[in-house]
């Protein structure tokens, strides 16, 4: 009598790490702009996710300003105005998409 060997296949759990780019400190609803305190560099064309609770907004960075002047890139520590497609909540985290 032959006993069949059982193979146990264990897959490693996939850990998703998100790069924290910053945090929304204010939102201007009339002009659709989120004020973001950056923890990492950001540039035009980057894809970002703005998340708070169940609310998630994914978009490409198409317009950002600092001191009311358009900028193409920002560095860690900068506080920028980011044009957003939909309303975001203060305290939302901004992560790389």
Contact 4, 76 (CB under 8 A): no
Q: Yes or no: is domain 20-96 CATH 1.10.40.30? A: no
Q: What are phi and psi of 67, to 5 degrees?
A: 55, 40
Residue with token string 């975001």 = 88
What is the model's pLDDT at position 11? 42
Query: Tell me: the pLDDT tens digits for 76-88?
Result: 999 999 999 999 9
Query: Tell me: the pLDDT tens digits for 14-31?
Result: 445 789 999 999 999 999
Mean pLDDT over the full length of the chain? 88
Break the chain into its structural domains and give their ranges.
20-96
Contact 50, 84 (CB under 8 A): yes
Contact 96, 16 (CB under 8 A): no
């Amino acid at each position: 009598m032959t006993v069949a060997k059982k193979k146990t296949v264990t897959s490693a759990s996939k850990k998703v790490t998100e790069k924290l780019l910053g945090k929304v400190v204010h939102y201007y609803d009339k002009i659709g702009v989120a004020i973001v305190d950056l923890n990492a560099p950001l540039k035009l064309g980057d894809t970002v996710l703005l998340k708070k609770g169940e609310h998630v907004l994914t978009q490409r960075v198409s317009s950002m300003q600092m001191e009311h002047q358009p900028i193409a890139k920002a560095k860690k520590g900068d506080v920028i105005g980011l044009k957003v497609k939909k309303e975001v909540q203060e305290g939302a985290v901004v992560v790389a998409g």
